Structure 1
Amino acid sequence: MEIRLVEELDYNVISLVINDWWNGRQMSSMLPKLFFEHFKNTSFIVEEENQIVGFLIGFLSQSHLNEAYIHFVGVHPEYRGKGVGRRLYNHFFDVVRQNGRDTIRCITSPINKGSIAYHTKMGFEIEQGDKEFNNVSIHTNYDGVNQNRVLFVKNMS
């Protein structure tokens, strides 16, 4: 498996499979093409035999100069549990360090138990919110009305 930078054409491939990778959840609207155009230097693809098996879309914050943000990560269902996600995250962590950043943030939906477990396993801490859902601190209405989110932070120093 090889890691490379995303290219604009990758959007065409990923946009066709993203909802399937999430068992029919409508996720494609959360990953517009602009990420493949404007965040190429901090977003990555994992390929095996010229097939995309994972991706991470991240960027360096323009507002918080010590921070980076992971916007979206996906791993082909047949490749989960094989270290693809860990490789992507570790690669992003290296890029973050190389750019003098020491804090990484990301969010997930409170219903995504797998994502919550994975991020805590990768060393992210859940930021204190204003409510709890299934014993997890959440930020209510974070992404709009009834769009609650779990916020994560990882300090790299």
Structure 2
Amino acid sequence: MILRSVKPSDYYAISPLINKWWGGRQMADMLPKLFFDHFTSTSFIAEEGGKTIGFLIGFLSQSHADEAYIHFVGVDPDYRKQHFGRQLYNRFFQTAKEGGRNKVRCVTSPVNRTSIAFHGKMGFEMEAGDRVEDGVPIHTDYDGPGQDRVLFLKKLPF
């Protein structure tokens, strides 16, 4: 597997895969091209045999000097459970530390139990919300009406 930084042209290869990789959920609108134009040094593509098998889009926070943020991550369903997601995250953690950050934040949907479990395995802690469902703290309407989210924080060792 090769891990490399994203480039603007990667948008056109990844965008058509997003809804497919999410089992038909309409997710592509959450990842506009601007991320591929403006966050190339903190976002990564995983390739195997010239095929895109995963990606991570993240950035160093402009508002919080000690934080980095993972905006969107995907791994081809045919390549899951092979630690490609873990490798993408570890590369981002390294980049965040090199950028002077000691915290990484991200969010997911409460219905995405696979994502919640993965983040726990990666050392993220769920942040307290305004309600709890099935042991998961929920932030009601975090991304707008009806758009509840689970918020995660990982403290990076220095």
TM-score bracket for the superposition, by shorter chain length? over 0.9
TM-score by length of 2: 0.98
1:104 corresponds to which residue?
A: 104
The answer for unaligned runs of 5 or more in structure 2 is: none
State the partner residue of 1:87.
87
CA distance in 2, matches of 1:66, 1:143: 23
In structure 2, distance between residues paired with 1:103 and 1:83:
22
Q: Determine the C-alpha separation between the residues in 1 that align with 2:18 and 2:147.
A: 20
Instruction: Measure how far apart 1:98 and its partner are.
Output: 0.8
Q: What is the TM-score with the length of structure 1 in the denominator? A: 0.99
1:63 is matched with which residue?
63
* Aligned residue identity for 2:77: P
Tell me the equivalent position of 2:125: 125
Task: Report the RMSD for the aligned CA atoms in angstroms.
Answer: 0.6
1:123-147 per-residue CA deviation (whole Å, 9 max, x = no partner) reads 0000000011222001001000111
Equivalent position of 2:43 in the other structure: 43
Q: Name the residue aligned to 2:22.
A: 22
What amino acid is the match of 2:66? N
Letter in 2 for 1:4: R
Q: Distance in 2 between matches of 1:106 and 1:151?
A: 6
Residues 73-131 of structure 1: CA distance to partner in whole angstroms, max 9, x if unpaired?
00000000111000000000111111111000000000000000000110000000001
Q: How many residues align?
A: 157
Which secondary structure does the structure 1 equivalent of 2:106 belong to? strand
Q: Distance in 1 between matches of 2:102 and 2:143?
A: 25
Partner secondary structure for residue 69 of structure 1: strand
Which secondary structure does the structure 2 equivalent of 1:129 belong to?
A: coil
- Listed one character per residue, the Cα deviations across residues 42-68 of structure 1 (whole Å, up to 9, x for unaligned) are 000000111100000000000000000
**Deviating runs (4+, > 2 A) in structure 1?**
none
Of all paired residues, the percent bearing the same amino acid is 59
Structure 1 residue 150 corresponds to structure 2 residue 134:
no
SS at match of 2:45: strand
The SS at the match of 2:88 is helix
